[in-house]
Structure formats: C-alpha cells, structure tokens
C-alpha cells in the first residue's frame, strides 16, 4: 500500500505540474496575441492618421489653387 500511495502521489504531482505548464503556456500565448493585436491596431491608427493628414494637406493645396485660379480669372475679366 505504501508503494501504491507514493506512485499515486508522484502521478498527481506530475499531472499538476503538467497542468500548470499548460496554463502558463496558454497565458503566454494569450499575452503574445494581445501584444500583436495592440501593435496591429496602433499601426492601423497610424496609417489612418497619416492618410487623414495627407487628405487635409491636399485639400489645402486644392483650396489655394482654386483661389489662385479665381484671382487670375477676376484679374483677366475685370478691365483695369
């Protein structure tokens, strides 16, 4: 009976250690996935902000060019 008890105790210890290892690996994988998701979300936000900035700059350039065209047309059409 003593041998059986020690064998059972060793088996229980091994199973507990294996369970802890599985839980730790799952937690590590979850942390890594969360980091990857954070990085991808930050990259997407950066891309969206850069695109918005470029659009704003292009709109400003378009406004300036349109105003210049209007000024040229006004100068040409209105006689001195």
Residue 43's pLDDT is what? 97
The CB-based long-range contact list for 62-69 (8 Å cut-off, 24+ gap) reads none
d(CA 64, CA 54): 15
Which span out of 4-18, 43-57, 64-78 was modeled with the highest average pLDDT?
43-57
pLDDT of 1 higher than 90 = no
d(C-alpha 11, C-alpha 70), whole Å: 88
**pLDDT reported for residue 61:** 96
In the chain the first and final C-alpha atoms are separated, in Å, by 118
18: Cα within 13 Å, side-chain hemisphere: 6
- pLDDT for residue 79 is more than 90: no
> Does the pLDDT value for residue 60 go beyond 60?
yes
Mean pLDDT of 58-77: 93
């Amino acid at each position: 009976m003593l041998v059986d008890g020690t064998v059972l105790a060793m088996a229980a210890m091994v199973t507990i250690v294996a369970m802890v290892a599985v839980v730790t690996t799952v937690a590590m994988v979850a942390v890594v996935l969360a980091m990857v998701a954070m990085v991808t979300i930050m990259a997407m936000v950066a891309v969206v902000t850069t695109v918005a900035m470029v659009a704003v700059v292009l709109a400003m350039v378009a406004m300036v060019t349109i105003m210049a065209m209007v000024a040229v047309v006004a100068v040409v059409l209105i006689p001195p």
